[in-house]
Amino acid sequence: MQSLRIPIFYLLLSLSTVIWCLISLVVAVFLPFRARYRFVVQTWCRCAVWLAWHILGIRYELHGVESIPQRPCVILAKHQSTWETFFLSAYFEPLSQVLKRELLRVPFFGWAIALLKPIAIDRGNPKAALKQLAEQGHKRLEQGAWVLIFPEGTRVPVGQIGKFSRGGAALAANAGLPVLPVAHDAGLYWPKEGWGKTPGTVRVVFGPPLQAEGEGPRAIADLNERAFAWVAQTQRQLGVLADEPVVDGPAKV
């Protein structure tokens, strides 16, 4: 039965993507940023999460919601699958996400995303990417948007965790804002590789906001290490991380 549900899910997701992007390109340009985000991203991502729940059987439960700050800050989230991108983009609004600038060239999808003030970086040029993240990220925070960063830089399979880049911690520290660490086990049900999906309940855990203690590179490194330690420990508590699985990720930002 699941083998039939998966192609149905992707068919509906693809149709919703094309239709919603076309509508958004016409309507969104007339909306202010916050309303534009709700119309373009939040609605579509909620649709994707709904389809995953009702067609694939991928449900979710939330823990630590009371820890989420009232003021937008930098979100440092574990990256295992596409599911958490959909979920976090639907849950927080408005939200600006770090992504490869090449995605903005994708017909329809990229054009619609470009309307939402993403932080589009050149990952082939780490120095330029860090500068883009610092400048554009700070501006988004000042505009009242959450900034979502996957500090591992790529999706890392269940059972492993990539080293955290310092870009997110530096952005938060320089803005005088905390980072909000997020752990989850979405990769158990929506794996990094392949089309296969498994019914189950994703556990999403929001950690305590972590603030830089002091200023300068040492304070940023310490903040990054504390965020990594919390995510790693929580992944272990969720049962999806072994004791020695840290891998080098491609992230430089």
Q: ∠ at Cα 77 (125, 132), nearest 5°?
A: 25
Q: State mean pLDDT over 16-28.
A: 86
Q: How crowded is residue 220: how many other Cβ atoms within 10 Å of its Cβ?
A: 21
Looking at the predicted structure, is the pLDDT value of residue 253 above 80?
Answer: no
The answer, yes or no, to whether residue 252 has pLDDT greater than 60, is no
What pLDDT sits at residue 184?
98
φ/ψ of residue 130, rounded to 5: -60, -40
pTM of the model: 0.91
Task: Evaluate if residue 89 carries a pLDDT over 90.
Answer: yes
End-to-end CA distance of the chain: 41
Give me the mean pLDDT over the 18-34 stretch. 86
> What residues contact 202, with CB distance under 8 A and at least 6 apart?
58, 59, 60, 61, 83, 87, 184, 185, 186, 188, 189, 190
- pLDDT tens digits for 197-229? 999 999 999 999 999 998 899 999 999 999 999
User: Per residue in 36-71, pLDDT tens?
Assistant: 899 888 999 999 999 999 999 999 999 999 999 999
What pLDDT sits at residue 248?
A: 61
Largest alpha-carbon pair distance within the chain?
55
Q: Where are the alpha helices (DSSP H) in 52-106?
A: 83-91
Give the whole-number percent of the chain exceeding pLDDT 70: 96
Please tell me the distance from the alpha carbon of residue 106 to that of residue 108, in angstroms, as a whole number.
6
pLDDT at 1: 73
Q: What's the CA gap between 207 and 182, in Å, rounded? A: 6
pLDDT at 167: 93
Q: What is the pLDDT of residue 124?
A: 76
46, two tokens = 């909620």
> Is domain 2-247 annotated with CATH 3.40.1130?
yes
pLDDT tens digits, one per residue of 104-147: 877 767 777 777 878 888 777 778 888 888 999 999 999 999 99
The pLDDT score that the predictor gives to residue 132 is 86
Q: Hey, where are the domains in the chain?
A: 2-247
Q: In angstroms, rounded to a whole number, what is the distance separating the alpha carbons of residues 199 and 204?
A: 16
- pLDDT score at 247: 67
Question: How high is the pLDDT of residue 161?
Answer: 95
The pLDDT score that the predictor gives to residue 10 is 94
pLDDT per residue as tens digits for the range 145-174: 999 999 998 999 999 999 999 999 999 999
Residue 118 has a pLDDT of: 87
| Nearest Cα residue to 161 out of 150, 172, 149 | 150
Average pLDDT score over the chain: 90
